[in-house]
Amino acid sequence: METLEIAKAKKAKAETTSISGSVAVLEALIAENVTEIFGYPGGAIMPIYDALYDYERKLHHILVRHEQGAIHAAQGYARASGKTGVVFATSGPGATNLVTGLADAMIDSTPVVCITGQVFAQLLGTDAFQETDVVNITTPITKWNYQVTDASEIPSVLAKAFYIASSGRPGPVLVDITKNAQQQLFEYAGYKKCDHIRSYRPKPIIRKEYVENAAKLINEAKKPFVIFGQGIILGKAEKEFTAFLEKGNLPAAWTILGMSAIPTDHPLGVGMLGMHGNYGPNVLTNECDVLIAVGMRFDDRVTGRLDKYAKQAKIIHLDIDPAEIDKNVKTTVSVWGDCKETLPMLTALIDKKDHKSWLQKFATLKKQEDETCINAELNPTGEEMTMGEVIKTLNELTKGNAIIVTDVGQHQMVACRYAKYNNSKSNITSGGLGTMGFALPAAIGAKLGTPNNTVIAIAGDGGFQMNIQELGTIMQSNIGVKILVLNNQFLGMVRQWQELFMDKRYSFTNITSPDFVKVAEAYNIPGEKVTDRSALKNALQKMLESKGAYLLEVMVGKENNVFPMVPQGCSVSEIRLK
């Protein structure tokens, strides 16, 4: 017996090797199939960067210009590729610069793993140089976070981090590693992926009777209406969802994050929900008899006034996150579970229907919207260019095959309203947090995540200046992102509200900009500025045909508004067409 024990121990010993915590971090990334890291070095993460020097061929590190750029790039990477984005940052200011991106990834359920350096464990709590309590700062904006003070924890903690970030409802995870743990040598027994944590249920158990109840409601419905969010994309359930819609002939509208889960031209796709969504879906939300919500969370920008939201309808909610059920809207039937599994169960139980006259209602309202606002936006007769016509022209050239990454503001709403998407994961935008400055770094990530795609960042003149430094990243790492700046010389969305609700008191919304083309040129990025409609199409074509990165600035009308609009405090059916 004894000899056996000893032999075992010897064998175990022989299988371990002594490595540093830093090397363990990089080995973990390789084991998790990470190929891209977005980061920025500094004192407390130097041991990891030192180890990275020898891993250059296995791990591609992109040096950003600001840590916020790193995390937005990781988000764009994750959203476009479906993989987990990875970020390195140093302690103190490096880590605090991640905060906006973490909050953004949290609210938009994006899988990101951030690794931050931290001061030596001995110095925690001493106000050491660049010491910030990052774990506590990021607690409300991470799905999980953890501080490592001993190198031997690194493999298992990172395995947990990757598992948590990407499973269930995805989200950002932060692992803070003290410098001593990065330097420390320990006996490494290899990396084991995590597939289970006893206190964590990524997927609720599906209750068949609820699926049956939901099917019954759908089969009895005369005016069923499907609304869907990013859950379809995150659950990789695009096919299952389309089959569900097509069997029941169910009209379906998307949230801003659900967009592109089905092609925008799908005959059952009736448009976008919410404040600047389409007319039909908003109005008919308050007319349908059964509202079927899939993988969405009834954000207030979608629901408008809750006490006047779909009160006439029975509500079915399919979601993977039990905390979302009944959070904002009380459901009649809730179907907890991964929609990749629940949708086929539901499809099997629903009847084939045509819902012809109900679908016709959407078409009628679409026509009304076309006549009152869409036509004027897409085919303007005035001298000034509209954002809508820029997007329309872009559609003609991309045919819906580009990935579009938008910033936040009017151009975001216009792009989401009018851009065509043929492929899932091709609309990337900051939905829940509305983070200006998102587009440029996120587009960098999206391009690296899907190098064969055309990736176009669309930004306003305001938001583009919020992370404009990332032009440096594009220059250094040669990233072929197309940048389309729609310049209205205003912080347009805020100006619109000031015009409509604050008597045109334009308090600090006019913004001046540098010569963007010159700025790009300084970064070795070719570009052009268009002020005239006649030059628009050619300029867009040139942008798309250019080999690498390119910047196109289009001057658009200064005081155009985005319509339709559900004014704050109003019901979705009180949506204004002008």
Partner 1 sequence: MTTQKTNIPAAATVATGQKAEYSLTVYTENQIGLLNRIAIMFSRRKINVISLNTSPTEVDSVHRFTIVINETEEVVRKLCRQIEKQVDVLKAFYNTDEEIIWQEMALYKVPTDEVAEKVKVERLLRKYGARAVVIRKDYTVFETTGHREETDSLIKALEPYGLIEFVRSARVAIIKDSKGFHEKLKSYEKSDPGEELIENEFLNQQDEVFTM
Determine which helix (DSSP H) or strand (DSSP E) holds 107, and give its type and residue range. helix 99-107
Quote the tokens at residue 126. Answer: 């001493």
Contact 377, 521 (CB under 8 A): no
Q: Is position 72 an interface residue for ligand TPP (rule: CB under 6 A)?
A: no
Q: What share of the chain is helix, strand, coil (3-state, %, to 5)?
A: 45, 15, 40
Sequence-ordered list of residues with C-beta below 8 angstroms from that of 303, at least 6 positions apart, any chain: 309, 328, 329, 572
Q: Is position 75 an interface residue for ligand TPP (rule: CB under 6 A)?
A: no
Query: Which listed residue (38, 225, 228, 490) binds ligand TPP by CB under 6 A?
Result: 490
Q: Please return the burial class of 164, using the count of CB atoms within 10 Å of its CB with bins 0-12, 13-18 and 19+.
A: buried
CA 104, 449, 36, 485 torsion: positive or negative? negative
What DSSP assignment string belongs to 410-425? HHHHHHHHH----STT
Among partner 1, ligand TPP, none, the one that 84 touches (CB under a kind-dependent 5 to 8 A) is none
Q: Which residue, 126 or 510, has its beta carbon nearer to ligand TPP?
A: 510
What minimum distance in Å lies between the beta carbon of 137 and ligand TPP? Answer: 18
Quote the tokens at residue 129. Answer: 């140089």
The site that binds ligand TPP (CB under 6 A) totals a number of residues, namely: 20
What minimum distance in Å lies between the beta carbon of 231 and ligand TPP? Answer: 24
What minimum distance in Å lies between the beta carbon of 438 and ligand TPP? Answer: 9
Determine which helix (DSSP H) or strand (DSSP E) holds 59, and give its type and residue range. none
Among ligand TPP, partner 1, none, the one that 436 touches (CB under a kind-dependent 5 to 8 A) is ligand TPP
With helix as H, strand as E and coil as C, how does 32-45 read?
A: CCCCEEEECCCHHH
Q: Which residue, 133 or 289, has its beta carbon nearer to partner 1?
A: 133
Among partner 1, ligand TPP, none, the one that 125 touches (CB under a kind-dependent 5 to 8 A) is partner 1
| Measured distance CA(28)–CA(173) in Å, rounded | 15
What minimum distance in Å lies between the beta carbon of 140 and partner 1? Answer: 5
Among ligand TPP, partner 1, none, the one that 409 touches (CB under a kind-dependent 5 to 8 A) is ligand TPP
What minimum distance in Å lies between the beta carbon of 414 and ligand TPP? Answer: 8
Among partner 1, ligand TPP, none, the one that 463 touches (CB under a kind-dependent 5 to 8 A) is ligand TPP
Enzyme catalytic residues: 67, 129-130, 179, 493
Q: Is position 462 an interface residue for ligand TPP (rule: CB under 6 A)?
A: yes
Query: Which listed residue (43, 263, 434, 548) binds ligand TPP by CB under 6 A?
Result: 434
Which of 463, 350, 360 is closest to 405 using CA atoms? 463
Q: Is position 494 an interface residue for ligand TPP (rule: CB under 6 A)?
A: yes
| Measured distance CA(384)–CA(129) in Å, rounded | 53
Beta bridge partners of 254: 228, 272
Query: Which listed residue (81, 166, 255, 488) binds ligand TPP by CB under 6 A?
Result: 488
Q: Is position 480 an interface residue for ligand TPP (rule: CB under 6 A)?
A: no
What minimum distance in Å lies between the beta carbon of 500 and ligand TPP? Answer: 14
Q: Is position 415 an interface residue for ligand TPP (rule: CB under 6 A)?
A: no
Q: Is position 409 an interface residue for ligand TPP (rule: CB under 6 A)?
A: yes
| Measured distance CA(402)–CA(556) in Å, rounded | 22
Query: Which listed residue (257, 493, 525, 552) binds ligand TPP by CB under 6 A?
Result: 493
With helix as H, strand as E and coil as C, how does 64-97 read?
A: CCCHHHHHHHHHHHHHHHCCCEEEEECCCHHHHC
Q: Is position 432 an interface residue for ligand TPP (rule: CB under 6 A)?
A: no
Query: Which listed residue (347, 393, 435, 453) binds ligand TPP by CB under 6 A?
Result: 435
| Measured distance CA(427)–CA(192) in Å, rounded | 34
Q: Given the rule CB under 8 A, which residues bind partner 1?
A: 43-44, 46, 119-126, 128-129, 135-136, 139-140, 143-147, 149-150, 153, 164, 179-180, 196-200, 321-323, 326-327
The dihedral over CA atoms of 527, 259, 105, 456, expressed in degrees to the nearest 10, equals -10
Q: Which residue, 24 or 416, has its beta carbon nearer to ligand TPP?
A: 416
What minimum distance in Å lies between the beta carbon of 460 and ligand TPP? Answer: 2
Determine which helix (DSSP H) or strand (DSSP E) holds 343, and give its type and residue range. helix 339-349
Sequence-ordered list of residues with C-beta below 8 angstroms from that of 334, at least 6 positions apart, any chain: 210, 316, 317, 318, 319, 325, 326
Q: Which residue, 203 or 247, has its beta carbon nearer to partner 1?
A: 203
Q: Which residue, 153 or 299, has its beta carbon nearer to partner 1?
A: 153
| Measured distance CA(18)–CA(48) in Å, rounded | 16
Q: Which residue, 24 or 536, has its beta carbon nearer to partner 1?
A: 24
| 571 DSSP 8-state letter | B
Among ligand TPP, partner 1, none, the one that 199 touches (CB under a kind-dependent 5 to 8 A) is partner 1
Q: Which residue, 105 or 448, has its beta carbon nearer to ligand TPP?
A: 105
Q: Which residue, 120 or 191, has its beta carbon nearer to partner 1?
A: 120
Among partner 1, ligand TPP, none, the one that 134 touches (CB under a kind-dependent 5 to 8 A) is none
Which of 210, 208, 212, 218 is closest to 351 using CA atoms? 218
Q: Which residue, 322 or 472, has its beta carbon nearer to partner 1?
A: 322
Q: Is position 491 an interface residue for ligand TPP (rule: CB under 6 A)?
A: yes
Q: Is position 411 an interface residue for ligand TPP (rule: CB under 6 A)?
A: yes
Residues that bind ligand TPP (CB under 6 A): 407-411, 434-437, 460-463, 486, 488, 490-494
